[in-house]
Amino acid sequence: MTEQLPLGLRWPRRQRFEHFYAGANAAALGAVQVLAGQSGAPWLYLSGATGSGKSHLLMAACQAAHEAGRTVQYLPLRNLREHYMAIRGVAGSQFIALDDLDAMAGEREAEHALFDLYNRARAEGTALIFAAQATAAQLPLMLPDLRSRLGACTQFALKPLDDGERREVLKQQAALRGIELDDVVLDWLFARYVRDLGALLDLLDRLDQASLAAQRRVTVPFLRTFLREAVQPPPTP
């Protein structure tokens, strides 16, 4: 299960606080940093659309809590099949992050397991942080008491970066790699590629390697060729 992976594999290199571009989410970032570093800090519930940075903040918090000497667990519920068993299996950690609560909402046994975990964590002094696309009030839960518990957490609705902010991040990250991304290249890219910042930064890593290997600048023709070849199936042996 994902939550049992070694720490080095579980927390991707880029999923750190220093790589989170806060934009309008500075208050949420600060609250998550406090929760990760201080016992007794208010529990948090993060909501927001895909690409708003929820999972990034949860994994960064787990990494920071681990570095602070706390035992941690991270449950990406959307990637787990037996939600009830996964939640029931959480035990013995001082910091627990539960991602994608939307995936288990409406499953009575899983909701009871989460309700019990919440109460047990409160009694044991364990820190909890939750994330979902829907707010606590909007989750389609069957247990009113669970909704009440989740609603008692400090709530933050994350906002994705706008296109201008994404462009600025890409320019900054490209400059650190010695790559110049002019506005013509960015216009072409944003018209033809997904705008999720994580996907764009992954693309930038691959472009960095490809441009170095080819000894070429990143221009629209180079980018067009790179993307066309990147989605081609490998040649048949």
The three-state DSSP-derived secondary structure of 59-124 is HHHHHHHHHCCCCEEEEEHHHCCCHHHHHHCCCCCCEEEEECHHHCCCCHHHHHHHHHHHHHHHHH
Residue 155 β-bridge partners: 45
Q: Report whether pLDDT(60) > 70.
A: yes
Confidence of residue 11 (pLDDT cuts 50, 70, 90): low
pLDDT of residue 13: 66
**Contacts with 52 (C-beta within 8 Å, 6 or more apart), sequence order:** 25, 158, 159, 160
- 49: exposed, middle or buried (C-beta count within 10 Å: 0-12, 13-18, 19+)? exposed
Q: What is the pLDDT of residues 63-112, one digit of tens each?
A: 999 999 999 999 999 998 899 999 999 988 999 999 999 999 999 999 99
Helices 220-230, 183-192: inter-axial angle, 10-degree rounding: 30
pLDDT of residue 231: 58
Count, in order, helices (H) and strands (E) of the chain: 10, 5
The pTM of the whole model exceeds 0.75: yes
pLDDT of residue 199: 83
CATH class of 2-157: alpha beta
